[in-house]
Structure 1
Amino acid sequence: MPISITPVAEKDCWSGSTWTVEDEDELAELIARVAIGQSRTVERILQATGDLPASYPKGGFEGARKLLTVGTGDKTYHRDGWVFQVIAWIAAHRFDENALIRSPQMIKADKGLDGLIIEFDDDGIAHVVICEEKATEHPRQKVKSQVWPEFEQFETGARDNELVASVTSLLEKSDDPNPDQTVADILWKEKRAYRVAVTVGEKHASPKGRKSLFKGYDHKVLGDVDRRRAETLVLDDVREWLDDLAKKALVAINDAEVKSLV
């Protein structure tokens, strides 16, 4: 697998993991597949139920390149944000192979939920995890100014209509025979959980650094610690690294287009 995860926690405040990229080329290949529109194929690979097929679709390559390219007038962080969301989606599969995890959105700078995870236990749905995923050079500032306010909104129930629609849509793709009833039966206050994932530098790579990064999490989201997840990816230069990774994915897309014509 291209990403490994190491569990970390801050007692009584949050739990989560740090991510390590083990194989950039493999990661770029998976990102390219998602960009082309093959997220279901990638999902089977991540769940260890399939291998990368030799064949490719006959289209989707131009749109895939746009997702991974910073065009004239575009913001670099929009492209980087999409790439990081795909990385976070891959890491989520590594964390819980039995969860239902919404595929990455195919639009850069989408204003909806960054990600959504439905976790199960013996009684059914254990948690509906709302995800915020940020590729940034200023993680603490981003967490305070954007992530905490988003979580606070969801805690008030102000965006439950968005949450209900997203959960229903995700359940429809599962084996659930009646997703509407399942969603209607969810006790939202009990089942709702959160996951923040951010890029960090060395300042926030230690236990002390992570403690300061996610300070206040337990005041924004009350209740049991399992309602608060926190994930980090340590990068020396987030923009340069994501740009290099996107370029590798573009090479994979170009190669896939050539192979699709054979």
Structure 2
Amino acid sequence: MTLTLVPIDHGELCYGWAWTIEDEEVLAERVARIVLGQYRHVTKILSGAGVPGPVANAEQANAAVKQLTLAEGVDPWHRDGWLFQAISWIAAHQQPSASLTRMPHIRKADKGFDGMQLELNEAGTAITAVVVFEDKATDNARDTIRDDVWPGIIALEKGERLNELSQEVSGMLDARAAADPEFDLDSAIANTLWHDARRYRVSITIGDTHNDASARAKLFKGFDESAPGAVARRRADTIHLPALRDWMADFSARVISKIKVIAHV
């Protein structure tokens, strides 16, 4: 696998995985295909299929390279955030918590949800879990969680953005309905108990400060208050990248190299 995911249990606070990158070259190739719009191929590879990758043309490659290239004087936050979302999407497929996963964002600084997975009941007639992703590439993990992530989750718990959530879920189920003529999309939406179904997957970059079990638990302090209820509602994933911005700059260059190889440019 591209990433190794080690399970971590913080009792009633939260559960989740610590990610470790096993092969940066392979990871860069998969992220390159995502930015080229070839996420379906990556999905097949992650599911174990040994299929050759599609080619890309020069125009696709140029657009992808442009997305990852910083203009002079521009901060890297949006680029790094998108790269981390792509890595998070790959991790979600390696340790899935749901039966349907939304396609990854292709644009930097997209204002929608960072990612989403759905779990259906055995009959496929209702949604049992809507897993909302919060993906954060940051040098200040605890501040970001406390000041950004928790308020966002609390707002969702209050029912804010439910219209956006419903639309995202409907779009994800459209593909299921197209593949299964007997699947009743409208009933599945109508039967969803939205408050009970909402779950959260917080994925964040960490440095040395939070790179042990005790410090990691302190990092996610307040998760049980922001999203109360069963611990299954609270997934917390981390990846240790102590020199985050330098690593992202190097990784972006690797991805660009892979894009050029795929497109033969």
The answer to whether the superposition gives a TM-score over 0.5 is yes
Aligned position for 2:155? 153
Q: CA RMSD in A?
A: 1.6
Partner of residue 92, structure 2: 92
Decide whether the 8 Å contact of 1:42 with 1:52 is kept in 2: no
Name the CA shift for 1:69/1:232 in 2 (closer, same or farther; >3 Å). Answer: same
Q: Which residue of structure 2 lines up, in the alignment, with residue 57 of structure 1?
A: 56
Are 1:68 and 2:40 an aligned pair?
no
Q: Tell me, yes or no, if the aligned pair for 2:7 and 2:18 is still in contact at 8 Å.
A: yes
Post-superposition shift, 1:50?
Answer: 4.1
Which moves more between the two structures, 35-44 or 111-120? Answer: 111-120
Aligned to 1:205: 211
Compute the displacement of 1:170 (Å): 0.9
Question: What does 1:97-108 correspond to in 2, within 5 Å?
Answer: 99-108=99-108
* 1:80 and 1:135 in contact (8 A); partners too: yes
Q: Judge conservation of contact 1:3–1:23 (CA < 8 Å) in 2.
A: yes
Name the structure 2 match of 1:32. Answer: 32
Q: Aligned partners of 2:212, 2:43: CA distance in 1, in Å? A: 31
**Aligned mates of 1:44, 1:179 — CA distance in 2:** 25
Q: Deviations over 1:177-206 (max 9, x none)?
A: 332321121111111100100000121111
Equivalent residue in structure 2 for 1:173, among 172, 175, 179: 175
Q: Does the 8 A contact of 1:6 with 1:19 survive in 2?
A: yes
1:208-223 equivalences under 5 Å are 208-223=214-229
Q: How far apart are the structure 2 equivalents of 1:9 and 1:211? A: 9
TM-score between both structures, scaled by the size of structure 1: 0.94
SS for the counterpart of 1:129 is strand
User: 5 Å matches for 1:1-262?
Assistant: 1-53=1-53, 55-58=54-57, 59-96=59-96, 99-124=99-124, 125-174=127-176, 175=179, 177-258=183-264
Distance 1:150 1:98, change over 3 A: closer
Q: Does the 8 Å CA contact 1:89/1:115 hold for their aligned counterparts?
A: yes
Native 8 Å contact 1:18 1:233 kept in 2? yes
The verdict on how the C-alpha distance between 1:218 and 1:191 changes in structure 2, with shifts beyond 3 A counting, is same
Larger displacement relative to structure 2 (85-94 or 123-132)? 123-132
Structure 1 69/178 Cα, relative in aligned 2: closer, same or farther at 3 Å?
Answer: farther
**1 CA distance for matches of 2:34 and 2:12?**
36
For the residue of structure 2 that corresponds to 1:33, the secondary structure is helix
* Contact residue 84 and residue 134 of structure 1 kept, 8 A: yes
Q: For this pair of structures, how many residues does the alignment match? A: 258
